[in-house]
A and B are shown apart, each in its own frame.
Chain A
């Protein structure tokens, strides 16, 4: 049994919120660099050059790379032999978000109630928290700030099993094509297949946090990731939707067992600022 205090959790989340906004992960930066090398459109090359320069500036000046520092999505993998002491885990995470967004000069983009007042909570809380109990005595905290430009272009659909692979491909490609230049391409495409109506989008979002360009261990899904990436990069959308070869940096698919009569498919898009950062306590 390991004890972790709520103060340690708050401090870790605070730091993650700031670092993730300033410092683009190396895998994403490498993918953008590789994209620049294969982009043929002059607008696309210009966009990618500016994006890479901006990443460098954000890292050096510790300033948010994008003003949309998102709603904080926080994944907690709690080892079943961990004892959290001194208060509530949820409160500790939200306090970390509050401090990180305030102290880090990050934008507060959360409204308390979505339909009527849409009043800003003023401190970017609450976070969207996904907690999973796992074996062991560690607490893994993964922070994924999600901006609206790309999140608004995602979709989930309950296909029929008869729609099959072709139906799934069509839905995924239609979603990306309809998104066009809106989600700040080059994008990362996260896809969740299977489970239930809420499980598929959970898988799609988690897929966005995989090391960029890593492949699903199932060779059939790995091949589908390759095929879809190729198809998406034939669409001509290009960086910022101004036309070009580099529309997506990667396609990641996650799947889960599903019901005999279901075929849920979810697509979660990420802008080129594919921010995610984790710590293990």
Chain B
């Protein structure tokens, strides 16, 4: 594992170019949650030429559907969900809405990686199934769009030192393919 880097939103081209696949990152600032249904609505809004309910320029989307908060907590367990379910929507948000970062878990499609290379965006991975630990990095959470979607609504999170890994960087270096190739022993 490489050195630990601090990353703060909103993201800049410079901060993204400084991130390389395999870097450990502590993420701080405002991030937005969205998963399948919110992505469908966001991309339909873009396609219709209308304004998004949230400005994604230089922002980062976290693929998560949190568990309900217990009294006194800002949020319940909130680990990453499988990013590949958002692969058909992500390129449009990167190319047309200025989205610069994504946080989730698991591999991405070639189309997503190409959009990341073309527009200088980064894909971070958090560890799936560590939702309690990750919830401790969330200081504030509020629903800002699509409230009717419940756990799938868009939330604005304020996070502090959320631990994650640069899985795919803006040059297309991909920790999933590199890591597996390094340890593969069959064929």
A complexed with B: yes
A58 to B135, CA, bound (A): 11
B173 at the interface (CB under 8 A from A): no
A-B contact pairs, 15 of them (CB 8 A): A43-B1, A43-B22, A51-B127, A54-B129, A63-B77, A64-B132, A65-B131, A107-B77, A180-B106, A184-B128, A235-B186, A236-B186, A238-B180, A238-B183, A242-B179
A-facing mask of B71-89, CB < 8 A → 1, else 0? Answer: 0000011110110100000
Residue from A40, A47, A242 having most chain B Cβ neighbours under 10 A: A242
Q: Which of A66-74, A76-84, A211-219, A261-269 contacts B (4 or more CB under 8 A)?
A: A66-74
A109 at the interface (CB under 8 A from B): yes
> How many A-B residue contacts, CB cutoff 8 Å?
164
A245, closest chain B residue (CB): B183
Contact A65 B180 (CB under 8 A): no
Residues of A within 8 A of B165 (CB): 43, 242
Contact B180 A235 (CB under 8 A): yes
A46 at the interface (CB under 8 A from B): yes
B125 at the interface (CB under 8 A from A): yes
Contact A243 B106 (CB under 8 A): no
Residues of B within 8 A of A63 (CB): 67, 70, 76-77, 132, 135
Contact B107 A181 (CB under 8 A): yes
Contact A240 B67 (CB under 8 A): no
A61 to B129, CA, bound (A): 16
Residues of B within 8 A of A122 (CB): 150
Contact B69 A243 (CB under 8 A): no
Instruction: Spell out B's residues near A (CB within 8 Å).
Output: 1, 22, 37, 64-70, 76-79, 81-82, 84, 105-107, 125, 127-133, 135, 149-151, 163, 165, 167, 175-176, 178-186
Residues of A within 8 A of B69 (CB): 105
Contact A148 B82 (CB under 8 A): yes
Interface residues of A in 69-114 (CB under 8 A from B): 69, 105-109
A182 at the interface (CB under 8 A from B): yes
Contact A243 B129 (CB under 8 A): no
A106 to B151, CA, bound (A): 11
Interface size class of A (residues with CB under 8 A): 35 or more
Contact A53 B185 (CB under 8 A): no
B152, closest chain A residue (CB): A120
Contact B131 A149 (CB under 8 A): no
Pick from B22, B37, B129, B133: contact of A272, CB below 8 A.
B129
Pick from B65, B78, B129, B178: contact of A271, CB below 8 A.
B129
**Other A-B pairs beyond A65-B131, A240-B127, 10, CB < 8 Å:** A43-B1, A43-B165, A61-B132, A63-B76, A105-B67, A106-B68, A109-B65, A181-B107, A238-B183, A243-B181
Residues of A within 8 A of B176 (CB): 180-181, 241-243
A19 to B30, CA, bound (A): 33
B-facing mask of A14-41, CB < 8 A → 1, else 0? Answer: 0000000000000000000000000011
A220 to B77, CA, bound (A): 42
A271 to B36, CA, bound (A): 20
Measured between C-beta atoms, what is the minimum distance from B29 to chain A in Å?
21
Residue from B132, B133, B176 having most chain A Cβ neighbours under 10 A: B132
Contact B179 A41 (CB under 8 A): yes
Residues of B within 8 A of A237 (CB): 180
